A and B are shown apart, each in its own frame.
Chain A
Amino acid sequence: MGVNIQVEHVNAWYGTTHTLKDVSLKIPANKATALIGPSGCGKSTFVRCLNRMHETTPGARVEGTIQMGDVDIYKAASPVEIRRRVGMVFQRPNPFPTMSIYDNVASGLRLNGFRKRSVLDEVVERSLKQAALWNEVKDDLRKKSGSSLSGGQQQRLCIARALAVDPEVLLMDEPASALDPVSTSKIEDLIFDLKRDYTIVIVTHNMQQAARVAEQTGFFLSGVMVEFDATEKIFTNPSDKRTEDYITGRFG
């Protein structure tokens, strides 16, 4: 099951650049939440704050509180604990190239010392099925390396890898922007299925994609969250002039 995420007054910096300015919002459990906005608006920074990846960049800094379920992720837990509970899929597919497909999916569990073979087999199969990749790779799980797959398959492998540790939240940073339309629609179908079990936050450049998969949408502009509302409302009747300008293609 997913958890609610309560974000309050979050500010983030890269060195002296203030990339996220006083963002507050409530991300509901078991729904997909899309974040849209022009390049450099802070939406990627925002999702990277949700699993404390932002602070891994030298010189980066975060302030404010993020409550995930009943845990304050910046006060009550270490980044490693948080990242075990929050899966992340990146813009560029990044499977481990020297590992087989099986090892890629099992990597998160093995990392945490999980070695039971029969359970690993089961988890790998379940995760690959959840990521709609099982049928394409089941015959060479151990023979092929993660990097031998096509781009779309690699991205689904990364989704399977993130799901294998059974996270409560799944963050997706433009998961389909490097993929062709067929792979993109597969990923979108996947998000649709996955949100039954996880809280999904997806960053996207593609507004149609946001409209298709997400219940809520947030619009970011130069580090500020301009508007956050039901997706339908954002795309048909936004309350802020800047949101309207963006979705009608007047800038960005």
Chain B
Amino acid sequence: MPLAALAQNEARTAEAAEAPVVPDTTGVRAFLMSRGSGSVADSVFGVLMLVGALSLFVIVALIVWMLVHNSQLSIHAFGMRFFRSTNWDPVNGDFGALPFIYGTIVSSLLALVIAVPLSLAVAIFVLEICPIPLRGAISFLTELLAAIPSIVYGLWAVFVLVPLVRDKFGPILEKLLGWTGLFVEPNFGVGVFTAALILAVMIFPVISSISRDVMRAVPNHQREAALALGSTRWEMIRMGVLRNARIGIIGAIILGLGRALGETMAVTMVIGNHPDISKNLFNPAYTLSSVIANEFSEATGDLYLSALIEIGLALFLVTIVVNAVARLLVWVVTRGNTAKAV
């Protein structure tokens, strides 16, 4: 049998070899030959891309320079004490950023604690469990949440979330978790907890849709490998999907955290705007971005303005440090083994 097939193949090749050379009647060959090497276009393209990439460094450097340059007055007046002091007293010209740093980090981390389980649950549901007709609708709604301007979230938070936290969630949380000292009355509805809630709603679509895309990219044969070993659906998701997508999921969480750290408008409207460091999450607090937004237009005096710009510098540093820590976490989780599913 194979011999016959081989003979047939040979006959076909021989036929091809004997075929007459086709003259270039359509001019296709001449056209292609006349196009040249294209090396000029290639190098122009290369330079353009290089300029684009380098401009990234330039922009970051300019931002840092601007922040440092414009906050010289405050840097010289307070030095490192600026980041340790809890006193923010524009009247007497004494400025410390610690309450704002604390408010920013605590509200963002609390938002992550609330948003991450929810986002992953929705992503897993949409991909692995949800009936196909419903998939599009849920994905669409998730993405729609990302498109709502933050001022609208702020308004919603003021009129819906604040009363809800004050009258409904608050008493329950105090009853259940009051002993931890994290939820202690008086609760006016505005405070770190409400800010974290609205932040959680705002970063949920980012984390959910990115981790959904990452999980979708996990090849199906990984799911089948887990199923064939006798895993239940949840075990299959854990072993065949989440494990392979973990780097991408952590990336999604870092992006969400970035958004939470910098979010200004909605947080300003519900966090209470009081520079205070307290364990109690019902307490009003203040974030770095909120204080800039609130006080920039009324900053009288060069030192006041300079201190606000140094607050901006602090926000920049906090973002960098948090991102670095997150990356370190990725490295530790994967123990340097960043292999991805192929």
Contact = CB atoms under 8 A, between A and B. Distances in A.
Contact of B225 (A58, A84, A158): A158
Given A58-B132, A97-B342, A247-B1, A162 B244 contact: no
Interface in B309-342: 334, 337, 339-342
Interface stretch (B55-63, B83-91, B230-238, B270-278): B230-238
A95 B243 CA distance: 13
B30 interface: no
A94 interface: yes
A85 B229 CA distance: 9
B246 interface: yes
A8 B193 CA distance: 62
B216 to A, nearest CB: 14
A97 B2 CA distance: 39
A81 interface: yes
B221 interface: yes
B230 A96 contact: no
Nearest to A144: B337
Contact of A96 (B227, B235, B243, B337): B243
Contacts of B230: 80-85, 108, 111-112, 165
B72 interface: no
A111 B227 CA distance: 11
A40 B2 CA distance: 23
A92 B230 CA distance: 19
A162 B229 CA distance: 7
A168 to B, nearest CB: 13
Given A98-B334, A147-B339, A249-B2, A108 B229 contact: yes
Contact of A249 (B4, B224, B231, B244): B4
Contacts of A83: 227-231
A145 interface: yes
Nearest to B233: A80
Interface in A79-107: 80-85, 87-88, 90, 92, 94-99, 107
Contacts of A82: 230
B304 to A, nearest CB: 52
A18 B39 CA distance: 54
A2 B337 CA distance: 38
A17 interface: no
B218 to A, nearest CB: 10
22 contacts: A53-B224, A56-B227, A83-B228, A83-B230, A83-B231, A88-B228, A90-B221, A90-B225, A94-B219, A94-B221, A96-B226, A96-B239, A97-B244, A97-B342, A98-B244, A98-B337, A148-B339, A161-B225, A165-B229, A248-B1, A249-B2, A249-B4
Given A84-B230, A92-B221, A111-B229, 19 more contacts: A53-B224, A56-B227, A58-B132, A83-B231, A84-B229, A88-B228, A90-B224, A94-B222, A94-B225, A96-B226, A97-B339, A97-B340, A99-B243, A107-B229, A108-B230, A111-B226, A111-B230, A111-B235, A111-B239
Q: Pick the 10 closest A-B CB pairs, nearest first.
A: A84-B230, A88-B228, A94-B221, A83-B230, A108-B229, A94-B225, A97-B339, A249-B1, A145-B339, A248-B1
